[in-house]
Chain A
Amino acid sequence: SYELTQPPSVSVSPGQTARITCSGDTLSRQFVFWYQKKSGQAPLLVIYKDTQRPSGIPERFSGSSSGTTVTLTISGVQAEDEAEYYCQSADSTDTYVFGTGTKVTVL
């Protein structure tokens, strides 16, 4: 199996921009999906297929990809964005992997 590496934490002031990276050797040929996870709640998909935003997700959430690193960007961070964020991919062996997770703290 493979691993997806994320920074353990990101701290940002309200209104600023938070960037969360997800790195993995296979990401140049796989889509990545991002989930927001708040305590006591189920994960919520915020970005799919690297850059697509599901209906109902605020425009301040965006995704980008470059080589083996994908990035989730939250522009104009709000207090409600404080959560854990996980990247996820699926590989050709029919298995799924989640990133190590990033705790976003809004100062």
Chain B
Amino acid sequence: QVQLQESGPRLVKSSETLSLTCTVSGASISSDSWSWIRQPPGEGLKWIGHIYGSGSTNYNPSLNSRVTISLDTSKNQVSLRLTSVTAADTAIYYCARIRGGLWFDYWGQGSLVTVSS
């Protein structure tokens, strides 16, 4: 059974960097593709970006200049960094596995990150 668990600071100050880690069990991160998705309060789901097991990435153009997704194969973790955050980045952040390059089959429980001024 594949399991994903997000972790990281729940409170980030405005203009600083948001960093989250997704620890994966039951699958090797180098064998699949992984995505970060977020849901701001009262809003819908938004794709942030994804990373292939090879390490290549693709990001939502609206966040492209601020986001970095990376792999740590030694720890089987997928990481998200989002720089220069504002209140608009307050959201529940999910990591998910991509299946067949088309959909998300396993999700973490989500991590609420609040950006404070």
Contact = CB atoms under 8 A, between A and B. Distances in A.
Given A42-B108, A48-B103, A98 B58 contact: no
- Consensus secondary structure, chain B interface: strand
A97 B60 CA distance: 9
Contacts of B103: 31, 33, 45, 48, 88, 90
A99 B39 CA distance: 12
Interface residues of A, number: 23
Contacts, number: 53
Given A95-B58, A98-B46, A42 B110 contact: yes
B101 interface: yes
Given A42-B94, A88-B104, 9 more contacts: A33-B103, A35-B45, A41-B109, A43-B107, A45-B103, A90-B102, A95-B47, A95-B61, A98-B46
Nearest 8 interchain pairs by C-beta: A42-B107, A101-B44, A33-B103, A96-B47, A98-B45, A94-B58, A90-B102, A86-B45
Nearest to A33: B103
Contacts of A96: 35, 47, 50
Interface of A: 1, 31, 33, 35, 37, 41-43, 45, 48-49, 84, 86, 88, 90, 94-101
B29 to A, nearest CB: 18
15 contacts: A31-B103, A33-B102, A33-B103, A42-B107, A42-B110, A43-B45, A43-B94, A45-B104, A90-B102, A94-B58, A96-B35, A96-B50, A97-B47, A98-B44, A101-B45
